[in-house]
Chain A
């Protein structure tokens, strides 16, 4: 009932050969997930917002609300 001699060399190499491709793949997945989960929707949100953004209308709304210091509210 003699046991097999355990692996004495190449342990780090074996570990790296196993773990590095996985690490690389997971990093790519994380980057892709962030790109398509966060940055692309954000770019789209900005694009959609400015597509129908009326600068003058928003300015007048803000002015009527009284948040400006250099522009008086309409009707003053």
Chain B
């Protein structure tokens, strides 16, 4: 069912996004069932490449040709008799990707960071337009002169004289300590 919806979504999104959605999900084996490429029969055991769930319900290649079949026969005997290439071939029969292949880094971060900056830029433009066209005039209390007079009044009133503002002002020399 997961595959069905992502197939439909595939029309809207790019191919890369669809692969990303299904990348860690179910995939069909190379010699598998001859089905419509977009849908998967979810009533059958599935194969998957997942870091967190290591052993799928079925092996990667379940339609074996004669060489694979003879190799599987040999696997029933002592494994010390298997050569390195045979062991690797047996692994590749059972699994599609190795852990390092599953963990391979992608270039997705560039898209993410790039998209982020684009959104920041658009937001910046919106904010700039807003500052110019939407904001009301600034209240007079923000003027430099007003702020200076405000600070002087606070010092005159001795606000927070013990640990706060007025404690930092040197009243004798009329400057900050």
Report which A residues bind B (CB closer than 8 A).
42, 45-46, 49, 58, 61-62, 65-67
Within the complex, the shortest CB–CB distance from A51 to chain B, in Å, comes to: 12
Q: Which of B153, B161, B162, B163 contacts A67 (CB 8 A)?
A: B153
Chain B contact patch, size range: under 10
Indicate if the CB atoms of B162 and A49 lie closer than 8 Å: yes
For this complex, 18 residue pairs linking A to B, each with C-beta atoms less than 8 Å apart, are: A42-B163, A45-B162, A45-B163, A46-B162, A49-B161, A49-B162, A58-B158, A61-B158, A61-B171, A62-B156, A62-B157, A62-B158, A65-B156, A65-B157, A66-B156, A67-B153, A67-B156, A67-B157
B161, closest chain A residue (CB): A49
CA distance A62 to B156 in the complex (A): 6
| B interface secondary structure, majority | loop
**A58 partner residues in chain B, CB cutoff 8 A:** 158
B153, closest chain A residue (CB): A67
Q: A49-B161, A61-B171, A66-B156 are in contact. List 11 more A-B contacts (CB 8 A).
A: A42-B163, A45-B162, A58-B158, A61-B158, A62-B156, A62-B157, A62-B158, A65-B156, A65-B157, A67-B156, A67-B157
**B163 partner residues in chain A, CB cutoff 8 A:** 42, 45
Within the complex, the shortest CB–CB distance from A19 to chain B, in Å, comes to: 27
Within the complex, the shortest CB–CB distance from B29 to chain A, in Å, comes to: 33
Q: Which 3 A-B pairs have the closest CB atoms?
A: A65-B156, A49-B162, A67-B157
CA distance A66 to B157 in the complex (A): 9
> From residue 107 to 166 of chain B, which have CB atoms closer than 8 A to chain A?
153, 156-158, 161-163
- Looking at B157, B161, B162, B163, the one whose CB has the most chain A CB atoms below 10 A away is B162
- Looking at A42, A45, A62, A67, the one whose CB has the most chain B CB atoms below 10 A away is A67
**B157 partner residues in chain A, CB cutoff 8 A:** 62, 65, 67
**B171 partner residues in chain A, CB cutoff 8 A:** 61
A64, closest chain B residue (CB): B156
CA distance A65 to B161 in the complex (A): 16
**A49 partner residues in chain B, CB cutoff 8 A:** 161-162
CA distance A18 to B153 in the complex (A): 57
